[in-house]
A and B are shown apart, each in its own frame.
Chain A
Amino acid sequence: EAQVTQNPRYLITVTGKKLTVTCSQNMNHEYMSWYRQDPGLGLRQIYYSMNVEVTDKGDVPEGYKVSRKEKRNFPLILESPSPNQTSLYFCASSSTGAGEYEQYFGPGTRLTVT
């Protein structure tokens, strides 16, 4: 089954404690991306990757890091989480093109930083 998986699904942590949210896809997609969803703001892109070892900032990259060492995995790293990073996070993947391809989303990770 074609899917994007994220772990963990729920996470409560404290300010400053480093954490990683994993994302994996089994569709051999070149493109992967992270979004955060906040009430009244929709989804906003954090980082994206067009292929292995190629990553770039999205609209709200501050406080986040990513890496793309393998095609299937695209972890999101919060080196020093703060309460304003409390949000619902989604990983997505797609084929690359001119923006016309469907993006497949993971089930989401709800992060609370206290």
Chain B
Amino acid sequence: GDSVTQMEGPVTLSEEAFLTINCTYTATGYPSLFWYVQYPGEGLQLLLKATKADDKGSNKGFEATYRKETTSFHLEKGSVQVSDSAVYFCALSVKGGGNKLTFGTGTQLKVEL
């Protein structure tokens, strides 16, 4: 079946540090890939997405590139801020899969001054 594997957290960084959160996937079809973010006490919000190979999704300084050859969708940001502290979820949705999102387990990011 479809699955998403992402690095375990928590990840603790100093402000302005470079962020990478690794995400790899297994899918039976040709998936769309997403990063969702969950701030404390809130629901999930879409951070960025990519729907085909080599697409780069970007938003709020975050980027991720759909790499079909390595089945990966790593999240990066060049300079994190304290306000980026949250839980980040990598997810996929396969065409014909009824819009279902398959999530990774989530990676907690803590950014300190």
User: Which of A90, A94, A105: most chain B CB closer than 10 A?
Assistant: A105
Q: Which residues of A contact B (CB under 8 A)?
A: 4, 31, 33, 35, 40-45, 48, 50, 56, 58, 90, 92, 94, 96-103, 105-108
Q: Could you say which of B42, B95, B100, B105 contacts A33, with CB atoms under 8 Å apart?
A: B100
13 further A-B contacts with Cβ under 8 Å, apart from A45-B101, A90-B44, are A33-B99, A41-B105, A42-B4, A43-B103, A48-B98, A58-B100, A97-B99, A98-B95, A99-B93, A100-B49, A101-B99, A103-B101, A105-B45
Total count of chain B residues near the partner, CB < 8 A = 27
Q: Is the CB of A100 within 8 A of B32?
A: yes
Q: Please, how many angstroms separate the alpha-carbon atoms of A83 and B105 in the complex?
A: 22
Digit string of B41-78 for contact with A (CB within 8 Å is 1, else 0)?
11111100101000000000000000000000000000
